[in-house]
Amino acid sequence: MSKKVSIALCGFGRIGQVHLESLLHHPDVAVTAIVDVDFERVKAKADSLGVAAFKTMGELLGDGKVKVDGVLICTPTSTHVDYIRQALLAGKQVMCEKPISNSIQEVDELYTLAKEKGLHLLCGFHRRYDPNFAKLKDVVSSGTVGKLLKVRSISRDNPLHVSVEYLKVSGGIIADTASHDIDMVRHITGEDPVTVYATGSASNPAIAAIPDHDQLDMIFTFPSGVIAAIDISRTAAYGYDQRLEILAEKGSVVVDNQKQTTVVVGLIDGFKSEPPCFSFPERYKEAYRTEVGHFVDLVKGTAKEARLSHKDVHNITAILKACQQSLKEGVPVKLSKELI
């Protein structure tokens, strides 16, 4: 029997609850603590699991009684840098939901600190662990379809499945939503874009008042000549729309939506199938479990390198900033010196 590693979950919002389920499902994990500023709520959950509850990372690390090998951080973005730094300085392995930081300098500082301490810092971009996208990546990398020409990523969300209050602190549609598509496009092409262009609008007055956008399109050009198109929306009335397509010289590869079931009903007026999954916890349940499994392997030492490197996170952060600049100014933005 494998020795269990002790993991503390920091943040018990929606994504925190998704990660807790994955941690509890893993046979090699002992969840030893849950941290959240809403202490009464998190204590009730911790008590039901027989684990410790804390209000802050500082309280967790200063306790001295709770065993912690690694921490999984899914608190608000504004806390990430401080929580990551505290955990690394305390000698803990760290996984943190994206973004590590909106500052390239802070991203670099934290990865440098992790390296100095001999620790892992894993940034949470869960789509890399989805078996459908992984298969598409394998097909492209194998050369089966020949030279890559175009990539199209579609991410359309249910109308306001999150609150306007959340959107006000989300960092905007590019950082909150499109960052996942940017990670996938980089991952599939194996390149960083040289030029990005973003344009958007707000059909919902409450989102416009933030101010933010609920419709977004982006075009990337890459050194090889590959063109990538990213289609983002917060108003897909029919469900959680997550598709990916590549065009290559010898053919194409498509990842379609996962549906609630594969049942198709045929009647005199035609065929009807199930709608797509309703939200990201449902669509990416397997991906989240695989991602947490990778973090557990890093903590155990059976995995030696994080699947997302310092370079990956640095460059994604730089690309996000360029996209935000393009959206604001309405012009294409070139990248070069910002990338490593």
Q: How far is residue 249 from each of residues 136, 137, 181, 253, 274, measured CA to CA in Å?
A: 15, 16, 23, 11, 33
Query: Which ranges in the chain are annotated with CATH 3.30.360.10?
Result: 128-278+316-334
Please enumerate in sequence order all residues whose Cβ is within 8 A of that of 41, keeping only pairs 6 or more positions apart, or say none: 12
Q: Which CATH class is domain 128-278+316-334?
A: alpha beta
Q: What is the pLDDT of residues 3-25, one digit of tens each?
A: 899 999 999 998 999 999 999 99
Q: Which residues neighbour 116 within 8 Å (Cβ) at sequence distance 6 or greater?
A: none
- Over residues 121-142, the mean pLDDT reads 97
Closest to 204 measured CA to CA, from 242, 158, 169, 154: 158
Residue 2, pLDDT > 70, answer no
pLDDT at 278: 83
CA neighbor of 265 nearest in space, from 256, 275, 277, 274: 274
H or E segment and range at residue 92 = none
pLDDT at 252: 97
Average pLDDT over residues 28-56: 96
pLDDT band at residue 113 under the 50/70/90 scheme: very high
Tell me the mean pLDDT in the region 179-206: 96
Distance of CA 5 to the CA centre of its chain: 23
- DSSP code per residue over 15-54: HHHHHHHHHHH-TTEEEEEEE-SSHHHHHHHHHHHT-EEE
In this model, does residue 170 exceed pLDDT 90?
Answer: no
Q: What span, in angstroms and rounded, lies between the C-alpha atoms of 340 and 338? A: 7
* HSE-CB of 168 using CA atoms within 13 angstroms: 6
Q: Which fold has domain 5-124?
A: Rossmann fold (3.40.50)
Alpha-carbon distance 180 to 155, whole Å?
Answer: 9
Q: In this model, does residue 161 exceed pLDDT 70? A: no
Q: What is the pTM of this model?
A: 0.94
State mean pLDDT over 31-52: 95
Segment 29-36 shows an average pLDDT of 97
Q: Is the predicted pLDDT of residue 262 greater than 60, yes or no?
A: yes
Say whether pLDDT at 1 is over 60: no
Q: Is the bond preceding residue 281 a cis peptide, omega within 30 degrees?
A: no
**Residue pLDDT, tens place only, 200-253:** 999 999 999 999 999 999 999 999 999 999 999 999 988 899 999 999 999 999
**Reported confidence tier of residue 160, pLDDT bands at 50, 70, 90:** low
Residue type, 189: T
Arithmetic mean of pLDDT, 181-188: 97
Give pLDDT tens digits for 294-326: 999 999 999 999 999 999 999 999 999 999 999
Cα–Cα nearest to 294, from 284, 283, 305: 305
b/e 127-163 (16+ beta carbons within 10 angstroms → b): bbbbebbbebbeebeeeebeebeebbbbbbbbeeeee
Positions of CATH 3.40.50.720 in the chain:
5-124
